[in-house]
């Protein structure tokens, strides 16, 4: 939290590998309390490779913690891989989502833990290169900032220069504007 405050971050992520929802809610609330004096929002991210693995669980943690600086992060890759639906999303208050995180990937959902992990760490594609419903996600949560997470083995190997890789990715990101 101190590092985030130092650089002027507006949001920090919270997720958990702990299975106890009550413990996660308590820790989430504590994180929100630490971040609040700095004007930082804490977004609860769900990942299908963690016990905190559904949109419903993340939304429940935020609701139960009841902190004014709480929110949920929707990463469209995790959204897709977790089995979440736009119908579930439509039932939630849009103010829960201060921003969304976008990447692309093949539409087919990996079926093993190892494949899901590799998908999240190495398999992301630039927006428009895969089969995830990016336009639908942007329409479902409109008018919020977009963060791009494109952790990709192909991009790392194809562009050894970080600046060149960023320029390549920027072309795809601008196409969403």
**pLDDT per residue as tens digits for the range 46-59:** 999 999 999 999 99
**pLDDT per residue as tens digits for the range 92-107:** 999 999 999 999 999 9
pLDDT at position 173 is: 81
Q: pLDDT grade, residue 15 (50/70/90)? A: very high
Q: Could you tell me the two tokens for 159?
A: 């562009």
Q: pLDDT grade, residue 45 (50/70/90)? A: very high
Q: How far apart are CA 80 and CA 130, in angstroms?
A: 12
**pLDDT per residue as tens digits for the range 161-177:** 989 988 988 888 887 76
pLDDT at position 152 is: 87
Averaged pLDDT for residues 26-40: 98
pLDDT at position 154 is: 87
The answer to whether residues 100 and 71 touch, using CB atoms and an 8 Å cutoff, is no
Q: How far apart are CA 42 and CA 136, in angstroms?
A: 25
DSSP 1-67: -HHHHHHT-SEEEE--S---HHHHHHHHHHHHHHHGGGT-EEEEE--TTSSS-SHHHHHHHHHHHT-
Averaged pLDDT for residues 105-132: 92
Residue 32 has pLDDT above 90, yes or no: yes
Averaged pLDDT for residues 80-99: 94
pLDDT at position 78 is: 96
Residues in contact with 27: Cβ distance below 8 Å, sequence separation at least 6, in sequence order:
14, 16, 18
Q: How far apart are CA 129 and CA 36, in angstroms?
A: 38
The pLDDT > 90 percentage for the chain reads 80
pLDDT at position 177 is: 63
């Amino acid at each position: 939290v101190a590092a985030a405050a130092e650089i002027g971050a507006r949001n920090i992520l919270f997720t958990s590998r702990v299975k106890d929802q009550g413990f996660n809610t308590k820790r989430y609330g504590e994180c929100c309390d630490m971040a609040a004096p700095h004007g930082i929002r804490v977004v609860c991210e769900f990942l299908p490779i963690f016990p905190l693995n559904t949109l419903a669980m993340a939304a429940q943690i935020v609701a139960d913690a009841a902190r004014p600086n709480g929110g949920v992060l929707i990463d469209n890759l995790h959204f897709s891989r977790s089995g979440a639906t736009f119908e579930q999303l439509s039932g939630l208050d849009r103010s829960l989502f201060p921003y969304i995180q976008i990447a692309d990937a093949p539409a087919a959902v990996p079926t093993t833990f190892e494949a899901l992990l590799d998908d999240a760490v190495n398999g992301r594609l630039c927006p428009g290169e895969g089969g995830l419903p990016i336009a639908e996600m942007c329409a479902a949560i409109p008018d919020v900032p977009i963060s791009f997470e494109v952790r990709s083995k192909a991009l790392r190997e194809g562009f050894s220069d970080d600046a060149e890789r960023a320029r390549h990715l920027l072309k795809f990101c601008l196409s969403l504007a």
